[in-house]
Amino acid sequence: MGERKRVEGRMRKGLISVMALVLVLTSLVQPSRTEASQVDDIIDISQNYIGTPYLWGGTDPNTGFDCSGYLWYIFQQIGITLPRSAQQQYDGGQPISNSELQAGDLVFFENTGSRPGVTHSGLYMGNGNMIHTSASQGVIITPMSNSYWAPRYVGAKRYIQQPTEPNVDVHMLSGADRFQTSVEVSKQMYPNGFPTNHSDKTVIIATGSEAADALSAGPLAAEYGDAPILLTRSDRLPSTLASEINRLGADRAVIIGGENAISPNVEANLMNTNISQVERISGSNRLETNQLINEQLTNVDGYFVASGMDFPDALAAAPIAAGENFGIILTNGSLRDGGAALLNGQDAFIVGGEAAVSSQIEAQVQAAAASTTRLAGANRYGTNAALLQYFYGSGLTTDAVVLTTGGDFPDALAAAPLAAAADLPLALAGSSLSNEVGSYFNGSGAGSLYVIGGQLSDNVINDMRYAVE
């Protein structure tokens, strides 16, 4: 499990400015460039110069390259200085057999000119291809099985140490759609259904179409005995959800949101399952619904204050809120009277920068709360890292990490109860793994990665695997 620091055990920090926290994040030790990244980079960089003409002795893309000068130049771009000539490059490096040949290795050829010995070098790209500088065609990709090059091949050398595969198991919790993904998360939480002695056999039902109503439902899930959050269509309960409710052995369903978000037909569908009690928490708008959710919480030790107009900050805070016995207060231009009343005498943590929660709201929070701390980064991923840094601290050690997209709400909403129940950190990623999040998890020792939903690319997942090991 993640070793989270408890707020009540540390000194009150008062107000931390956005810029101060950004400085804390950017001062984190950045991981050294991984070998995996260097291989990817050298393959990408090498192709930028396709078509550059041949020039004997050339090392400049503006004038031309010879074979070894081309390799010398592109390796400089990733901070590696190669010997200058093909023979010298062959004399250095780590010898590699044909069976060990991998992308990023150098390949060498002899008797390609009037001089004896190794006279030509190229970069192996994988799939039997190399990129090199041809005297007749300049920088070009050529199959190594080419009738000219194959008989002249003499061997390969490695200058980028190939990474070992990280010992991190990836568990993909993903369905055909967002509804099925929430079911897969529920199955991970309760593979054998609710235990017979489970104190509260409740499921939370939220719409999969709009994030607003359920943004603050993470702490409610913890309040209800680590209830799964199942996402439904607005007009009907998907059959996969009905099956999951029966498999769990749930006897109560709590719907979040009004009848425009989740229709009475869904209630009727629920009553056709094992469910014997259906409740609805619903206000006239998302902020009133949020207030009603917070009124359901008991023994609250503090509150996160986040924007109710966008999802990432509130959902990044949700598992931490559940573990810390916090509620989440959503705002939209001002702090509601009910929110101010909840904050009275409590610790408050504003999530996100002033574009998300304004300085005016911050002043209202300060006036009501016992202490106020703003946790923010330059964007949603920086804010995610800021939350983790504050509540889990530096040098995180954890058995596993929950990873999901920060680009859409459904997967993160379903992921929150899983992360909270297992006391695991929740990481958000986009089209790439941000430096802030990757740096935070660097060397955390996780042996498992739970990937929620199917929106993250293999590259992002692999980058996280290398980061956490």
Residues 392/362, Cβ–Cβ less than 8 Å = no
Number of separate domains in the chain: 2
How many Å apart are CA 118 and CA 128, to the nearest integer? 20
How many Å apart are CA 426 and CA 371, to the nearest integer? 25
Same domain, 374 and 245: yes
Q: Where are the beta strands (DSSP E) in 201-301?
A: 202-207, 229-232, 252-256, 277-281
Ramachandran region of residue 62, left (φ > 0), alpha (ψ -120 to 50) or beta?
alpha
Last residue of a domain, one of 96, 130, 158: 158
Show the domain range for 82.
35-158
Last residue of a domain, one of 158, 182, 214: 158
| 19: Cβ contacts below 8 Å, ≥ 6 apart | none
How many Å apart are CA 112 and CA 127, to the nearest integer? 23
Same domain, 180 and 149: no
User: Which CATH number is 139's domain given?
Assistant: 3.90.1720.10
Could you tell me if residue 337 is inside a domain?
Answer: yes
How many Å apart are CA 176 and CA 329, to the nearest integer? 32
pLDDT of residue 169: 96
How many Å apart are CA 455 and CA 407, to the nearest integer? 9
Same domain, 194 and 342: yes
Number of other residues whose CB lies within 10 A of the CB of residue 402: 27
For residue 290, what are its two tokens?
A: 């949020």
pTM over 0.75: no
Same domain, 239 and 366: yes
Sequence-ordered alpha helix ranges (H) in 325-370? 337-343, 359-368
Last residue of a domain, one of 158, 183, 200: 158
Same domain, 135 and 188: no
Same domain, 78 and 214: no
Beta bridge partners of 347: 302, 371
Among 240, 246, 231, which residue's Cα sits nearest to residue 453? 231
Same domain, 138 and 170: no
Could you tell me if residue 1 is inside a domain?
Answer: no
Among 308, 343, 344, which residue's Cα sits nearest to residue 327? 343
Could you tell me if residue 2 is inside a domain?
Answer: no
Q: Where are the beta strands (DSSP E) in 258-308?
A: 277-281, 302-307
Same domain, 379 and 462: yes
pLDDT of residue 13: 31
| 32: Cβ contacts below 8 Å, ≥ 6 apart | none
- pLDDT digits (tens), the chain, 469 positions: 555 544 433 322 333 333 333 333 333 333 333 555 789 899 999 999 999 999 999 999 999 999 999 999 999 999 999 999 999 999 999 999 998 898 999 999 998 977 889 999 999 999 899 999 999 999 999 999 999 999 999 999 999 987 678 899 999 999 999 999 999 999 999 999 999 999 999 999 999 998 878 999 999 999 999 999 999 999 999 999 999 999 999 999 999 999 999 999 999 999 999 999 999 999 999 999 999 999 999 999 999 999 999 999 999 999 999 999 999 999 998 999 999 999 999 999 999 999 999 999 999 999 999 999 999 999 999 999 999 999 999 989 999 999 999 999 999 999 999 999 999 999 999 999 999 999 999 999 999 999 999 999 988 998 899 899 8
pLDDT of residue 2: 57
Same domain, 452 and 373: yes
Question: Of all helices (H) and strands (E), which one includes residue 132?
Answer: strand 129-134
Same domain, 246 and 143: no
Same domain, 335 and 209: yes
pLDDT of residue 324: 96
Same domain, 449 and 417: yes
pLDDT of residue 37: 72
pLDDT of residue 167: 92
Residues 457/359, Cβ–Cβ less than 8 Å = no
